[in-house]
Structure 1
C-alpha cells in the first residue's frame, strides 16, 4: 500500500480536478488535473502490462512535452524510476547513460527516432512513440499495489558530465516532494500562479524548480521549447506570474524588441538560476522596474535552496539570499571549520530535498554526502546580515603566484563594459605563476588589449587582471546554456590566432 506522502498528485486532482494543469504553447492544447491524472493512470497500467515492476527504470527522450508528466506520475504510482534523457548529448554519451541505468522502456519523440536507432546499446528495451501512445492505450486501470516508501527512488537525472562521465542523481519521492513544499512555502506560490517552462525538462531546472511546485499548489504550467521572442510572447499571452530562465536565456531575451516594449503586468518575479547572473541582466530589469532575483541549486540538492526578496536584490547585488524554510546551509573553510562572515568557503546543503545517492557510484556518493551534508563543490560567502553570495566553482578557482582569483569577480567586471557582450575566465598553466588568468570574450565593438587591461585595472587588483584575452564569436555552452569552461580549456591550442596582442 502506498504511503500517503506519495499520493500528493492524486490528492491535488481530488481538490481541483477541473482546473487547467498543463498548457502546450506550441499547440495551445491544454489538460485539466483530472485529464493529466487519467493519462498517467493509463500509462502506469501499460507499464505494468509490459512487466515493469517497482525499481525498474522507464526513460524518455523528447523535447518539452506533456509526456514528461505522464512518465513521472505513472512512475510515482507503480514505484518505477523515471529517467529523462538529454537529447542534446552525443550518441556515445547517450549510449553510456542508457547502459548505465538499463531502462525497460524508452518513450521517444519521433524526431529523435534516428538518434535511438544509431545508438549501439545492447539493452533490450521497448520503444514507444510519445506522440500517440496515450490514445492507443487500453484504459484498464488494473489494481497496482506496490508498497512505496518516501525514500524509494522516483527519478534519476543525469548531470551534464562536463568534468567526466555523467552521474545519475537519484531523487526519491521525498526529495522531489520536499523541494516542492519548500519552494511553495518559501517563495509564496499559490494556485493563482502560472509558470512558463522553457528549460529542458530532462534537467532538474525544467522539472523541479517551478513545474512540480506549481502543480502541487494547483497552478498552471505552460510548456514550450526555448526561443527568446516566443518566450516573451508566451509570458504575456498566458499571463505568467513567475518564471525561471538561465543567464544565457536572459542574455538573449533582453535583446529582443518585444522585451524592450513589454511591461509584463502579470509577472510577480523573474528568477535566474543555473549559473551566476551577469549584473547587466539585473540592470535590464531594474531599468524597466520589473522584479528580478537570483537563485541557486544543483541536481543533488533541490534545486531550490535560497530566497531573496526582489526588493533586496539591488541592495545585495549578486546575492542568492537566505536559506529557505526547510533546508540548512553551512560554509566551511579548507580546514573544515565554519567560515566567518565574508570569508569564502565551500557551500554545504542539508535537507529532505537532497538526493539519495549516485546511481551505480557508491564511491562518488560517499565523497559528496558526508554526515548528511551535500558538499556542493561551490564556493560561497555570507555577509554579516546572513545573505549568501556564490563566488564560483571550487575547481574553477585560479591560484596565480600564490594568490586566489575567483573567476566570477573578473567576469562580472568584464561584462559590465558596454562593448563586451559575454566573458568567461579560466586559469591556464604557467611555469612562472603556476596559473595565469585568461579571459575569453565576445565583443560588441572592437577593443584592443591595452583598452581591456586599462579597464580591468580600474577595479581589479593587479594579479586578477587577465594576462591574455581571447576574442571569440561566441562562447561554448552546455546543453542547459551554461558556459562550458572545459571546452574553452580543451580548445585553447586552437585559439592562438584569436588572442589580442
Structure 2
C-alpha cells in the first residue's frame, strides 16, 4: 500500500464498509465509510477528468462539512495539493493566499458566494480556472454564473477508485499561517509527514475501539485536519459541527454517545457556562484534547470531577499538530507544563546555536520528527531560518524539568492567541499604519476572560480628531474579525530598541489591564 493519505479512506471502506464515518452533529446527514469513499472517488475522478495534474493546488473555502472531508481525501488520491482556506479572512487576504499558492480549482460554500464573486471579478490576479459551488440547501439557480454545481460535478463521475496520483514525499497540503512579517506563510506537508502525524498522535492518545469523536474546530486548522485523518486510520466515527455552539455540542454528546474530541480552552469554558449543562448525559466521554492556549487548572479540575480527562496539546501547524501532550492528572500537578513529547517526537530546549541546554535553563523549544513540515511554500529564507540541522525552531521559549516535562515561558514571535486563533501583531500594525491619521502603531495581547487574549492597538496619531471607534471601524473590512483590535490606546511614542524593533515587553508593562472582552 502506497503512503497516500487518501488511501486510508479506501482501506477503511474496504475493512469496515458499513461503519459510520461521518455524521453531522445534528444527525441530519450520516455516511458510512463506503458511502464517504464513493463520494470522495466521484470528486477525485471528476478532477482528473477535468485535467488535474500531480501537484496542482485545489483550494477549499468550506465550512466543516462532508464536502470538506471528502474533498481532502479525493484531492490526496488524485495527486493534487489541498489548500485549506480560513473562511474568516476577507477577500484581500484570500487573494494573497490563492495567488501565492497558485490554486487552480476552488471549491466553495454558498455562504461565501459573494466573496468568491469578488475574487473571480479580479480577473487574472489568481490562477483559478475552475470554480465548484457547494450549494447545500440553495437551489440550482443560485449557482454562480462562473461556477459549476459541486453536486452535479461529482454525480457525473464514477465511484471507481482513481489511479493513485501521489505518495511519500509528494505534497499533500499547504496550510497558511500568518508570519511575523505580516505576510502569511504556506506550511507544506507531504503524504509522509501527515502519515507520521497520524502515527505519533495515535500512539500517544487514548484511542479505543468504538471511538465517536466530535469535531468542533474549523477543518482549515491542523488541529481539525489531522484528527480527520486519524479517524479514517483508526475507523472512528467523526461527528462534525459546522460551526461550534456549546448547547449543540452537549446535545450531540448526549444523543450520539460521544467518547472524545478536540476543543480549544475557550470552547471547553463555553460548554460549562451553558445554563444547566449538568442536566446533559456526558457519561460516554472519556477525554477531550485541548490546546492553542494555556488551560486554566480550575477548568481541568472541573472536567476531571465530571469524569472527563482533559489532555493538553502543545503543537504547531509546522509539526502537523503534535509536539507535547499533557495528561489531566499531571496538568493539575504541574499547571505550568505543556507535557512530554509525543511518541515519535523529540523536543529539546536549546540556545541560539542549537545546543541543548541543561534541565531548568530556558531557551528555544526545538522539535524533531518525521511529522515536521517539508518547507514553507516559496519561502526558502524562512525555511532555512526555521529548519536547522533537522530540528524545527518553534520560536517559543521553554524549559524542561527533572521529570522530562516541558513548559512554555514566553513567545519569541510575540504571537497573540485569541480564541484558539493565531494572531500576529505585525499584520495588524501594517493595516493600522496605512491609516492617514496614524504615524505609528504597536499591537499586543491583553488577557481576556472570554478569548484568552485579545489584540490591543497602541497608536500614535497625527490627526488629533481621530477616535478609537474610527480606528476600529477602519480595521473591519481589512482584517478577519478575530484579528481586529478590540481596543485602542493613544500614546505619544512607541517604545523601540536601537534597531527600531517595537519593545512589546515595554508595551505590555505600560498597558497591563485586562481586555473588556
Q: Taking structure 1 as the reference length, what is the TM-score of the superposition?
A: 0.78
Match runs of 1:216-365 below 5 Å:
216-224=233-241, 225-262=243-280, 264-334=282-352, 336-365=354-383
Residues 358 and 364 in structure 1, CA contact (< 8 A), matched pair in contact too: yes
CA RMSD of aligned residues (A): 3.4
Match runs of 1:92-241 below 5 Å:
92-119=92-119, 120=122, 121-130=125-134, 131=136, 133-134=150-151, 136=153, 137-140=155-158, 144-145=162-163, 148-161=166-179, 164-208=182-226, 210-224=227-241, 225-241=243-259
Rounded to whole Å, the distance in 1 between the matches of 2:85 and 2:254 is 30
Shift of 1:255: 1.1
Residues 26 and 248 in structure 2, CA contact (< 8 A), matched pair in contact too: no
Rounded to whole Å, the distance in 1 between the matches of 2:254 and 2:152 is 32
Partner of 1:380: 398
Rounded to whole Å, the distance in 1 between the matches of 2:320 and 2:97 is 22
Shift of 1:214: 1.8
Partner of 1:432: none
Shift of 1:168: 0.9
Residues 41 and 158 in structure 2, CA contact (< 8 A), matched pair in contact too: no
Distance 1:324 1:126, change over 3 A: same
Rounded to whole Å, the distance in 1 between the matches of 2:308 and 2:201 is 21
Distance 1:16 1:258, change over 3 A: farther
Residues 105 and 125 in structure 1, CA contact (< 8 A), matched pair in contact too: yes
Rounded to whole Å, the distance in 1 between the matches of 2:108 and 2:444 is 42
Distance 1:43 1:258, change over 3 A: farther
Shift of 1:391: 2.0
Q: Does 1:81 align with 2:81?
A: yes
What's the secondary structure of 1:199's corresponding residue?
coil
Distance 1:79 1:261, change over 3 A: same
Shift of 1:28: 2.2
More moved, 301-310 vs 74-83: 301-310
Of structures 1 and 2, the one with the larger relative CO (CA 8 A, separation 6+) is 2
Rounded to whole Å, the distance in 1 between the matches of 2:181 and 2:381 is 16
Q: Deviations over 1:8-39 (max 9, x none)?
A: 32222211111000001245211111111111
Partner of 2:66: 66
Shift of 1:97: 0.6
Residues 6 and 150 in structure 1, CA contact (< 8 A), matched pair in contact too: no
Aligned residues: 431
Partner of 2:141: none
What's the secondary structure of 1:104's corresponding residue?
strand
Q: Deviations over 1:120-163 (max 9, x none)?
A: 24433211122362455223357854552311111111114575
What's the secondary structure of 2:381's corresponding residue?
helix
Residues 189 and 320 in structure 2, CA contact (< 8 A), matched pair in contact too: no
Rounded to whole Å, the distance in 1 between the matches of 2:128 and 2:265 is 39
More moved, 223-232 vs 123-132: 123-132
Q: Deviations over 1:473-492 (max 9, x none)?
A: xxx9xxxx9986x947x943
Which structure 1 residue ranges, 5 or more long, are not aligned? 398-406, 412-423, 427-435, 445-475
Shift of 1:55: 0.3
Q: Deviations over 1:437-460 (max 9, x none)?
A: 99835589xxxxxxxxxxxxxxxx
Q: Deviations over 1:330-358 (max 9, x none)?
A: 11134532122222211111111111111
Distance 1:95 1:85, change over 3 A: same
More moved, 39-48 vs 22-31: 22-31
Rounded to whole Å, the distance in 2 between the matches of 1:49 and 1:8 is 23
What's the secondary structure of 1:28's corresponding residue?
coil
Residues 22 and 223 in structure 1, CA contact (< 8 A), matched pair in contact too: yes
Partner of 1:492: 489
Q: Taking structure 2 as the reference length, what is the TM-score of the superposition?
A: 0.75
Distance 1:236 1:304, change over 3 A: farther
Rounded to whole Å, the distance in 2 between the matches of 1:296 and 1:248 is 16
Rounded to whole Å, the distance in 2 between the matches of 1:324 and 1:441 is 29
Q: Deviations over 1:219-253 (max 9, x none)?
A: 11011110122122222222111111112222322
Distance 1:341 1:146, change over 3 A: same
Residues 274 and 482 in structure 1, CA contact (< 8 A), matched pair in contact too: no
Out of 429, 437, 446, the position equivalent to 1:440 is 446
Distance 1:191 1:162, change over 3 A: farther
Q: Does 1:36 align with 2:40?
A: no
Rounded to whole Å, the distance in 1 between the matches of 2:285 and 2:51 is 45
